[in-house]
Amino acid sequence: MHSDQPHHSLGPSDPPNPLDSARHPDGASASGRSPADGVPLPPPRGPGGTEPGGPALTLTNPTDIIATLPYLVGTPPDPGIVVLAVRDKGVHSAFCGDLDRLTAAGDPLARAAVPVDMAVAEGCTALVVVAYGPPERVTPHVDRILSAARGRNLAVVDALRVTGGRYWSYTCARADCCPVEGTVVNVDSSTVPASAVLHGIVPVQPLSAVTAEAERVREVLRPVHGLERAAMDAVAEEVQARARRLLEQGMRGALTDRGLSAVLAAVRAERAGRGPTGREELAWLGVYLGQIRVRDEAWARITAEAAPAHQELWGRVTRHLPRHQRAAPASLLAVAAWQRGDEPLAAAALDVALAADPGYSMAVLMSRALAWGLPVERWREFTPRWLRARSERPQE
């Protein structure tokens, strides 16, 4: 890799490259060995996975890799990082991290290895990494990913940086295949787009369109206002005062028990079409969700089947509560929307949660998952560990 920033390149101790797919124009692969026949790329179902069967595209060099990313993740974010996880000599999963969003969700370097962990969990054996942006911004993240890959015995087919219309390889140390000035990205020379059109494969919805959707769903989250706002705030203040008195009397356990019963009853009622709408009911739900145990019990019950009811319930609670109480219900709303595949609503709900409490741990965790495009099928890995093992409360 020829870069204007120090980096940690792969060494001889790294696992052997199983695909030899990142072939350069002169016929040499990024690893310097003779190329194979290329990597079969199944058509994607979106970030986080690919659909089995159907037509496949073949990637034979870095230009092909760059040219195919719109069919996997849409327009890659800049600055951002795309990680392709390889299993059985084909691309199994695609993870796309927007560095601006990852930064907003906390220290992005602390979670840079998330796609590596997910790739290992899915039985993948190799990675392809493509970073977009200036080296000083993206190289630390690539270094962290490559280090994590080495630690988890994942091979790296190639790791590229795309900056200003040129690409460099982090795994190449040869001037003949990786010139110091980089290589011009010429997607017109790739057969991937034409092959995709031939097979009826279209690019994923671009990130800009998703952002526009986020603006739309913010309207769905607009808080109640006017006379209703004033009345709701007054009720919420009184309910919070009553809850504080209980805590001052050493009755936290009783408050938690009441909260567990009330929240699970509210979910059951919502699923039956009789969800709570009264101001005091909504205010107490806001108080109960302030107890982490209560919130976590609700979180673990947001399955795909129950997600519509949770979305309705926690959306209503979020709109009615005062701003300082919205972090918990907005985070639960985000999980429900994520379960339903409504990523714009999930992102907007997390914005509300973090505006209410910038350090709210659940919102930070979910923001990282969403920013990396992690598959919702693995949602239980984001629930509290104790709750995955057991819960004394019946499942909804």
- pLDDT class of 385 with cuts at 50, 70, 90: low
Q: Are strands 155-163 and 90-98 parallel, antiparallel or unpaired?
A: unpaired
- For residue 359, count CB atoms less than 10 angstroms from its CB and return exposed for 0-12, middle for 13-18, buried for 19 or more: exposed
Higher pLDDT, 182 or 235: 235
Residues paired with 166 in a beta bridge: 163, 184
Q: What is the pLDDT of residue 30?
A: 31
CA distance 22 to 24: 7
The CATH topology of domain 39-204 is Cytidine Deaminase; domain 2 (3.40.140)
Domain-wise residue ranges, the chain? 39-204, 211-389
On the question of pLDDT at 235 being above 50, the answer is yes
As a whole-number percent, the residues of the chain with pLDDT over 90 amount to 34
Bridge-partner residues for 131, per DSSP? 81, 161
3-class secondary structure per residue, the chain: CCCCCCCCCCCCCCCCCCCCCCECCCCCECCCCCCCCCEEECCEEECCEECCCCCCEEECCHHHHHHHHHHHHCCCCCCEEEEEEEECCEEEEEEEEEHHHHHHCCCHHHHCCHHHHHHHHCCCCEEEEEEECCHHHHHHHHHHHHHHHHHCCCEEEEEEEEECCEEEECCCCCCCCCCCCCEECCHHHCCHHHHHHHCCCCCCCCHHHHHHHHHHHHHHCCCCCHHHHHHHHHHHHHHHHHHHHHHHCCCHHHHHHHHHHHHHHHHHHHHCCCCCCCHHHHHHHHHHCCCHHHHHHHHHCCCCCCHHHHHHHHHHHHHHCCHHHCHHHHHHHHHHHHHCCCHHHHHHHHHHHHHHCCCCHHHHHHHHHHHCCCCHHHHHHHCCHHHHHCCCCCCC
Q: How confident is the model at residue 88 (pLDDT cuts 50, 70, 90)?
A: confident
What pLDDT score does 110 carry?
65
Lowest mean pLDDT among 96-100, 208-212, 245-249, 276-280: 208-212
Q: State the amino acid at position 3 in one-letter form.
A: S
pLDDT-based confidence at 2, cuts 50/70/90? very low
The model carries a pTM of 0.59
Range of weakest confidence among 5-14, 161-170, 295-304, 337-346: 5-14
- What is the mean predicted confidence (pLDDT) over 104-108? 61
Residues 6+ apart with CB under 8 A from 350: 330, 331, 334, 363, 366, 367, 370
